[in-house]
């Protein structure tokens, strides 16, 4: 965990929109020094300027492993240390299983799952050399159980949760902190694609305010809004036959 954001060096991959952008603003306001990553440099430059211009702009395509490695190397060389590395990149296109297109499948897996693996792999090397630091992966409550019209997004988020759990167990250094973020519905360009009313939806700024104290806490999972996420945790432990019957009747 991070004791203080003031002067902390934090890498956010996926900082140009949605929760990642709101979190960048929240952490910058708290005094953190950021490495801002996403695909488009002009957007990152504008964000950095809006935040005071003191941050490091590192363009990175989360769907390309070599791009993540290059960004990781540059940040390691530019920062005296990495106190936290947060993977906020994500891709979502709601689709019925039978209508999934191969290119969409590949893009979703490349960004949501493969990118997260590659990110954690390279950051972990740095943290082991430092003997301290934090890796945070943003998954989703969509990964708790399979959802209709949620593939392949839900599957990749379930994979991210599983990966974070494995990494937390395998890590033997208590000074290296592993966390997962499981948001409920947050109003972003991704969720704007949903054709249904989203229960208990919150704004990105509210999500960032929930994440920031979680980064400083001992808990493995950061989840919000609590009324919604605790309900879904209860749904997760329902017997299969109850769960399937309930959703098929919706």
pLDDT tens across 101-155, in order? 999 999 999 999 999 999 999 999 999 999 999 999 999 999 998 888 888 999 9
Residues 6+ apart with CB under 8 A from 215: 1, 2, 84, 86, 134, 136, 179, 222
Q: Which two tokens stand for residue 210?
A: 């929930």
pTM, entire model: 0.94
Please give the pLDDT value at position 250: 58
What is the DSSP secondary structure assignment for residue 7, as one 8-state letter?
A: T
Contact status, residue 38 vs residue 59, Cβ threshold 8 Å:
yes
Q: Which of 178, 140, 172, 176 is nearest to 159 (CA)?
A: 140
What is the residue-wise DSSP string for 128-169?
Answer: HHHT-EEEEEE--GGGSS--TTBTTHHHHHHHHHHHHHHHHH
CA-CA-CA-CA dihedral for 157, 206, 220, 213, to nearest 10: 160
Contact 208, 22 (CB under 8 A): yes
Q: Domain spans of the chain?
A: 9-248
Compute φ and ψ for 84, nearest 5 degrees. -155, 140
41 pLDDT higher than 80: yes
Give the model confidence (pLDDT) of 72-110 as tens digits: 999 999 999 999 999 999 999 888 888 889 999 999 999
Q: Where are the beta strands (DSSP E) in the chain?
A: 9-13, 33-37, 56-57, 84-87, 133-138, 176-183, 221-224
The band of 191, judged by pLDDT with boundaries at 50, 70 and 90, is confident
Taking the C-alpha atoms of 20, 21, 25 and 30 in order, what is their torsion angle to the nearest 10 degrees? 10
pLDDT in tens, 203-241: 999 999 999 999 999 999 999 999 999 999 998 898 998
Which CATH number applies to 9-248?
A: 3.40.50.720
**Phi-psi map region of 133: left, alpha, beta (phi>0 left; psi -120 to 50 alpha):** left
């Amino acid at each position: 965990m991070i004791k203080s954001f003031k002067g902390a060096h934090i890498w956010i991959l996926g900082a140009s929109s949605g929760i990642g952008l709101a979190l960048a603003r929240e952490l910058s306001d708290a005094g953190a020094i950021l490495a801002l990553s996403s695909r488009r440099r002009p957007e990152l430059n504008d964000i950095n300027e809006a935040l005071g211009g003191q941050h490091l702009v590192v363009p990175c395509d989360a769907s390309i492993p070599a791009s993540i490695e290059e960004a990781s190397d540059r940040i390691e060389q530019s920062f005296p240390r990495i106190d936290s590395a947060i993977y906020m990149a994500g891709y979502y296109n709601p689709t019925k299983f039978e209508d999934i297109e191969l290119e969409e499948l590949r893009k979703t897996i490349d960004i949501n799952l493969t990118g997260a693996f590659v990110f954690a792999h390279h950051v972990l090397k740095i943290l082991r050399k430092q003997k301290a630091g934090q890796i945070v992966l943003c998954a989703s409550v969509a990964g708790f159980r399979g959802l209709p019209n949620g593939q392949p997004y839900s599957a990749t988020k379930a994979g991210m949760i599983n990966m974070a759990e494995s990494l937390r167990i395998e890590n033997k250094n208590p000074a290296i902190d592993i966390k997962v973020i499981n948001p409920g519905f947050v109003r972003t360009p991704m969720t704007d694609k949903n054709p249904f009313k989203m229960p208990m939806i919150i704004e990105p700024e509210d999500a960032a305010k929930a994440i920031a104290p979680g980064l400083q806490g001992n808990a493995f999972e950061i989840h919000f809004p609590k009324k919604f996420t605790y309900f879904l945790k209860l749904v997760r432990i329902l017997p299969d036959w109850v769960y399937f019957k309930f959703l098929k009747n919706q």
